[in-house]
Amino acid sequence: MEDQISKLSDAANRMRISSIEQTAKANSGHPTSSCSAAEIVATLFFSEMRYSVKEPRHPSADRFVLSKGHACPILYAAWEEAGLLTREQVLTLRKLDSDIEGHPTPRLEFIDVATGSLGQGLSCAAGMAYTGKYVDNASYRVYCLLGDSESAEGSVWEAAAFASYYKLDNLVAIVDVNRLGQSRETMLGHDLFTYAKRFEAFGFHSIIADGHDIADLLKAFDEAKKVTGQPTAIICRTLKGKGIEGVEDKDNCHGKPVALDKAEIIASKLTNKTKIPWELENLINDAPNVDFEIGNIKMSSPPNYQIGEKVATRLAYGNALVKLADTNKRIIALDGDVSNSTFSDKVLNKYPQQFVQCFIAEQNMVGVAVGMSCRGRTIPHASTFAVFFTRAADQIRMGAISFANVKFAGSHAGVSIGEDGPSQMGLEDLALFRAVPNSIVLYPTDAVSAEYATELAANYKGITFTRTGRPNTPVIYPNDEKFEIGKCKVIRQTNEDKYLLIGAGVTLYECIKAHDMLSSEGIQVAVIDLFSVKPLDSQTLIEQAKRVGGKVLTVEDHYQTGGIGEAVALALGDVPGVRVRSLCVKEIPRSGTPDELMDLYGISAKKIIAAVKNY
Amino acid sequence: MEDQISKLSDAANRMRISSIEQTAKANSGHPTSSCSAAEIVATLFFSEMRYSVKEPRHPSADRFVLSKGHACPILYAAWEEAGLLTREQVLTLRKLDSDIEGHPTPRLEFIDVATGSLGQGLSCAAGMAYTGKYVDNASYRVYCLLGDSESAEGSVWEAAAFASYYKLDNLVAIVDVNRLGQSRETMLGHDLFTYAKRFEAFGFHSIIADGHDIADLLKAFDEAKKVTGQPTAIICRTLKGKGIEGVEDKDNCHGKPVALDKAEIIASKLTNKTKIPWELENLINDAPNVDFEIGNIKMSSPPNYQIGEKVATRLAYGNALVKLADTNKRIIALDGDVSNSTFSDKVLNKYPQQFVQCFIAEQNMVGVAVGMSCRGRTIPHASTFAVFFTRAADQIRMGAISFANVKFAGSHAGVSIGEDGPSQMGLEDLALFRAVPNSIVLYPTDAVSAEYATELAANYKGITFTRTGRPNTPVIYPNDEKFEIGKCKVIRQTNEDKYLLIGAGVTLYECIKAHDMLSSEGIQVAVIDLFSVKPLDSQTLIEQAKRVGGKVLTVEDHYQTGGIGEAVALALGDVPGVRVRSLCVKEIPRSGTPDELMDLYGISAKKIIAAVKNY
């Protein structure tokens, strides 16, 4: 035991030295935030956790999430200590050609989720733990290291409530209470008791420990393993910059490298100057193989609607989702207590094991989804009202940096929801999801295209968003119509077209109405169902725009910013002779009927006709 | 006492009747969520709160925030009971021409903040309470009614931690624990003890009460008034749909109107059939007059830099903010523990009373700012890294629906922050703030324009965003340069210009470099400093685009979606002969030096020159 402690203590100090050297070489980064966590991370990596250095993403390995991502030098140092990385490699910290980035990202094979925007790690960890306990039914445990400052983020408490509600006794949160934030002392300083009380109130078993006392940490991790039916929080008293002479526990040392002689002082205190290699290939190999292949996921049956039948696209989403769940046990539906509006409750009703109720906590829902998608364990489908994804915009952003494979579906898009008013209307959601690098954004108009959109999204590896609507709208496509990511549909065209209307969802119906009325007056317009908002079908748009003589009018139930109009304007911006005008929602809407609102905010057939005549 | 209780009980039941009638007439809305809160709201409005029916926004009146906004029929009913509204008026609920909207908005004079996106009210209420206690030094108290479902939102706990840290004993949170969410029972059901424990752990005095027992409620409010040094939470056991026969405490009744005969049954149970008018003009008039006039707010001195001097725009923001604070005691700086990076700490150092540390809880920071801006009490300036406003995107959105007057400033924009990596880079912030209806978005390039941008923002009534950068960049404008909202600056032009470059911030310097190098090769390009991203100076952009022959190139340190390129493309989309191309960040960036990253992601002078030559 003595021996083990001194070995772990030396590991912690070697990791401190590495952290100091990494950040000194980079001339930026967070050595003090790393050093407060040195014993915690050393104990976790070299006594507690079971994993494979050869295969860091082994499905059965324990997971580690560094929620306080800025402390990544200590994480890189841990993998150096474990033998996966060399000192030379970690000393490339923050260099352009290195994946040893300023904050952790899964460009590195031992990182599951990107962190650096604070307070998000515990949700991802909870998603992994949920998967381990209920989907994989495997032994792996999940450890999440949080900073004390970041526990001010509400998302931490959303995650805590979720973890205890689902009795995730395979989840351990460790809080590195080093007292100091970036600009000043935290709200609670070293009041460990209050941290413990908060976690207990949120259903955790809590343990207070000295975060620099390895024996105490070993005891705490042991205790955590014996806890059943609830997750554990280990609240560790630490000092920021621990071990760095003249810096330890001092204010104004956040995110500042220290001189290399500080590392030498630590080196001189090592019990064993020579490192003894660790034996680490100790995981319990009991996570099952996953049985899906992205690109080959199919609904159990094709859409089955009648042309003209009125079906909301949100309902069709629910229908498609349950048909995907029919064929694939790792399709998971996540909900924020609106499943009876988004129709994800169809999965709940048929396959309760494939449904995760996240209650009204969208940030955590997204974090859990990102966590569940890690190592390809599941294909999470998170749905709520389109507008409420705004609540989790930062989690979605970090999901992108995590290269997560999560399917989002947002219902109740736009003013066409009607009476509930602006707080419930998704008018920024296309912009939110278009801004995600490598994302796919689909906006189906009818039930048939909504089902295919859902199937297409499930087969794309990365973040997707499918926008669905509240009103019941007529089916316009046959059940065997083919849809593709990046392809629009030209649904009305003649040789006399003088204008091109581009719509999607509710506005496509208005475009069709406008087409019919204009046509009866002898004015011919082509109509495109955009379907794939991202990527845009630029080729078809350009061809059609040129064909009609250059006058393009986009119509969308969305604000201007980042919506269809701006996307199309830039895509066609470089085509000589092509002009783009946009009809979209331009002010804060009110309550009213869908038809009234669409007309008031300028996206009705009537307003389209006026815009065409005034072009 | 008996008499008072029966009077309040009748009021509650009349409000129930009104809620049922409102929603029945609208054929949508939330009578059951209203009825669980009937006694709570009646007791608040007709016994506890001191306010003016004649002047609902009186600065000295107690504030009421209905965080569970979907229960607004009971709020409209309360103002009907108070005599401000007629039954005829409240029966226009959810109609297009009525301000009695589906969720509350400040189009109504008795509403301070829009609610309807859940979990946001307590932050706004805490902002009001902070203002009352520390800025107004007045007696008014703040009451916030929350639903139990929405307490799953982390933002509630951010607000709770803030309220207790600042000892807001003038704040009372009331939780209407009616057990039922939209789709199912909440996580905690009727476990009132756990709610109380959570609020206590977050520093509240907590009281458990029967939410339908008026005597119990009166006692609880009395107890709350005696609490000093901490806020109070009253956890009320209620039944959803209380009083509605056959609906009370039943699942699947969320957001569904009920038959009018349910109202008749309640009416038959009133103790007094005739309503006795209330005497309500009882506020303590001790809130001071505010002494600022929007449009006339001035910095204490103009910018004072040397041309060529290297100053980060974030530093200039800090300089300007303290100069505004010099002349106006109601300019308040709010921070999320990064004030030493955004330089809002200049206000902290000089005027600690005008600085509010919100710690790492951006959602709450924004909610507090919205609350502090209510009734024109202060002009809150909230700053953090640009990217971390993404965390509060939903609060910003609701701030817009609240017609809030809040100034946002986001530093560390774009890949030019360098080594910290993508999690810290603001690449969606222009889109986020452009999407806010009626917002102003300014993107100053140098220190002089950054100071004027800050002053311009302070003088605009509404939401503004000023984007600042991390690197030190040279001053290019004289100290007396005039800047205007909606006006760009043509900083390079000749009669031989063949291209128009549009930049802002770091990319403007790259445009200037490109201009100089192209010019030396005999290729003349005009250069515009966009400055006002919203509104765009369309007139100048069109004139200049035409003048150079139509080839426009925008360059921005931002993703494409909703950024400068898309905004300009649509603004110029309808101008024959004008073409727009965009250079912007198109993938998830990495760590590296600012210069390396700007080149790698295609927004350096070198890449601009290549784009011009290939146009």
Q: Helix, strand or coil for residue A441? A: strand
Q: Please list every residue in chain B whose beta carbon sits closer than 8 Å to the beta carbon of residue A122.
A: none
Check if B543 is active-site.
no
Q: Residue A390 pLDDT more than 80? A: yes
Can you give the pLDDT at residue B225?
98
CA distance B336 to chain A (A): 9
Class of the domain covering A489-614:
alpha beta
| Sign for the pseudo-dihedral over CA of A191, A195, A201, A205 | negative
Report the DSSP pairing between strands A440-443 and A464-467.
Answer: parallel
* CB within 8 Å of chain B, chain A residues 202-221: 202
A531 is written with which tokens? 């379907």
A291 pLDDT exceeds 90? no
pLDDT of residue A2: 78
CATH of span A1-268:
3.40.50.970
Give contacts of B251 with chain A, Cβ < 8 Å: none
Q: Which residues, 6+ apart, have CB-to-CB distance to A499 below 8 Å? A: A523, A525, A526, A548, A551, A552, A553, A612, A615
pLDDT tens profile B270-285:
999 888 899 899 999 9
Q: Specify which residues B529 forms β-bridges with.
A: B489, B503
Beta strand pairing call for B407-411 and B440-443: unpaired
Tell me the mean pLDDT in the region B416-433. Answer: 97
Minimal C-alpha gap between B252 and chain A (Å):
9
Can you tell me the distance from the alpha carbon of B154 to that of B34, in angstroms, rounded to the nearest whole number?
23
Residue B458: predicted pLDDT: 98
The amino acid at residue A583 is L
Query: Residue A369: pLDDT band by 50, 70, 90 thresholds?
Result: very high
pLDDT of residue B490: 98
DSSP letters for A219-279 = HHHHHHHH--SS-EEEEEE--TTTTSTTTTT-TT-TT----THHHHHHHTT-S-SSPPPP-
Helical ranges in B112-183 per DSSP H = 121-130, 154-165
Alpha carbon distance A603, A597 (integer Å): 9
Which of A394, A579, A586 is the closest to B391 by Cβ? A394
Using a 10 angstrom Cβ sphere, with 0-12 exposed, 13-18 middle and 19 or more buried, the burial of residue B479 is: middle
> What pLDDT, on a 0 to 100 scale, did the predictor assign at position B291?
84
Q: Are B232 and B259 in contact (CB under 8 A)?
A: no
- Identify the CA nearest to A497 among candidates A486, A511, A487: A511
Alpha helix locations (H) across B459-577?
506-520, 538-547, 564-571
Q: Find chain A residues with C-beta within 8 A of B152's C-beta.
A: 158, 161, 359-361
Question: What is the phi/psi pair of residue A415, to 5°?
Answer: -70, -15
Query: What is the mean pLDDT of the segment spanning A483-498?
Result: 98
pTM above 0.95, yes or no: yes
CATH superfamily of B309-475: Thiamin diphosphate (ThDP)-binding fold, Pyr/PP domains (3.40.50.970)
Tell which of B337, B534, B538, B559 to mutate to test the A interface (max A CBs under 10 Å). Answer: B337
Q: Tokens 């220290």 sit at which residue? A: A258
- pLDDT tens digits, B14-33: 999 999 999 999 999 999 99
B552 within 8 A of B500, measured Cβ to Cβ: yes
Mean pLDDT of B160-168: 98
Cα separation of A455 and A9, whole Å?
A: 52
Determine contact, residues B560/B603, Cβ cutoff 8 Å: no
Domain segments of chain B as ranges:
1-268, 309-475, 489-614
- Cβ contact, residue pair A116, B154, below 8 Å: no
Task: Tell me the sheet residues that pair with B180.
Answer: B185
Is a pLDDT exceeding 90 seen at residue B294? yes
CB contact under 8 A, B157 and A157: yes
- CATH topology match: A1-268 vs A309-475: yes
Check CB contact under 8 Å for B591 and A102: yes
Q: Please name the residues between 70 and 129 in chain B that touch chain A, using a CB distance below 8 Å.
A: 94-96, 98, 101-103, 105, 107, 114-119
The pLDDT tens digits for B56-104 are 999 999 999 999 999 999 999 999 999 999 999 999 999 999 999 999 9
pLDDT value for A1: 76
Answer yes or no: do A588 and B363 touch at CB < 8 A.
no
In this structure, are strands A205-210 and A63-66 parallel, antiparallel, or unpaired? Answer: unpaired
Alpha carbon separation from B143 to A485, B63, B125 (Å, rounded): 50, 6, 7
Contact assessment for residue B302 and residue B479, using Cβ atoms and an 8 Å cutoff: yes
**Secondary structure (3-state) at B465:** strand
